């Protein structure tokens, strides 16, 4: 029985992925439970898939770029773990943070997310001031539009789901790219899964692929989610 599945979506990550896989694999090798690592190469143009295969992990090598949300959905539905975690290929939040999440699952939580904006969180390498302020404004808009009150960090790329919640939520996800995290949490709320937050240590990557234009697209998708809610798209 696989206790933990770790899904890593990756696009053109041949340079950073080997180090991340080495750290994740080393951590999991030291645990007493069964685990698996799944890398989803999102139409990468470099050697991302080859680097993952060389590391000996399961690889979904899609030739067409469909977006991070699509890749996470693929990995989640292909995994077998009782708990299914997705994390970023840049290892901004290390896999050992799962230890903070296990107790929440043992208490019956279906969804547990990492947060950089609650007590106990540490941002080791902060973002630029303007980027932080834009992020704060975006998060406020997200809460107003989506109804996710009290969740100030919907975008942290470290989220875990029970197998039941993953099978229930991910087939209904429609956003493939920027705002898929928001949609996941909206669906979790509508399906009755309590969303627990745990503080994480996060290291900002100066080479992050998320630019201002991406935030604009993300905001547009958040409004699409709101429209979907009004139209009953997410109703069973």
Calculate the average pLDDT of the chain: 92
| 209 has pLDDT over 60 | no
Spatial separation of the C-alpha atoms in residues 153 and 140, rounded to whole Å: 10
- Where residue 133 falls among pLDDT bands split at 50, 70, 90? low
Mean pLDDT of 53-57: 97
Q: Which residue has the tokens 């997410």?
A: 234
Q: Residue 137 pLDDT more than 90?
A: no
pLDDT of residue 216: 85
pLDDT at residue number 236: 66
Least confident of 15-29, 79-93, 181-195, 200-214: 200-214
Task: Answer yes or no: CATH 3.90.550.10 is held by domain 2-230.
Answer: yes
Residues paired with 111 in a beta bridge: 161, 195
Give the 3-state secondary structure of residue 5. strand
What is the per-residue pLDDT across 77-86, written as a single tens digit (0 to 9) for each? 999 999 999 9
pLDDT score of 126: 63
- Scan for tokens 């899904």, then name that residue: 7
**Can you tell me the distance from the alpha carbon of 98 to that of 58, in angstroms, rounded to the nearest whole number?**
20
Over residues 224-231, mean pLDDT:
94
Are the C-beta atoms of 169 and 190 separated by less than 8 Å?
no
Assigned token pair, 190: 């509508």
């Amino acid at each position: 029985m696989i206790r933990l599945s770790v899904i890593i979506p990756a696009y053109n990550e041949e340079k950073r992925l080997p180090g991340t896989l080495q750290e994740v694999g080393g951590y999991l090798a030291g645990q007493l439970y069964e685990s698996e690592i799944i890398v989803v190469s999102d139409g990468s143009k470099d050697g991302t898939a080859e680097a993952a295969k060389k590391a000996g992990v399961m690889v979904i090598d899609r030739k067409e770029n469909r977006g991070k949300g699509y890749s996470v959905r693929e990995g989640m539905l292909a995994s077998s773990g009782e708990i299914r975690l997705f994390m970023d290929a840049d290892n901004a939040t290390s896999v050992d943070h799962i230890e903070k999440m296990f107790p929440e699952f043992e208490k019956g939580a279906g969804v547990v997310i990492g947060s950089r904006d609650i007590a106990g969180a540490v941002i080791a390498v902060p973002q630029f001031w303007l980027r932080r302020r834009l992020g704060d404004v975006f998060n406020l808009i997200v809460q107003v539009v989506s109804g996710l009150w009290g969740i100030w960090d919907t975008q942290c790329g470290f989220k875990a789901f029970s197998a039941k919640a993953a099978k229930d939520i991910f087939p209904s996800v429609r956003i493939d790219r920027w705002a898929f995290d928001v949609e996941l949490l909206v669906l979790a709320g509508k399906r009755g899964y309590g969303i627990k937050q745990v503080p994480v240590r996060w290291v900002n990557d100066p080479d992050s692929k998320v630019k201002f234009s991406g935030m604009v697209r993300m905001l547009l998708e958040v409004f699409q989610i709101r429209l979907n809610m009004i139209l009953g798209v997410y109703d069973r």
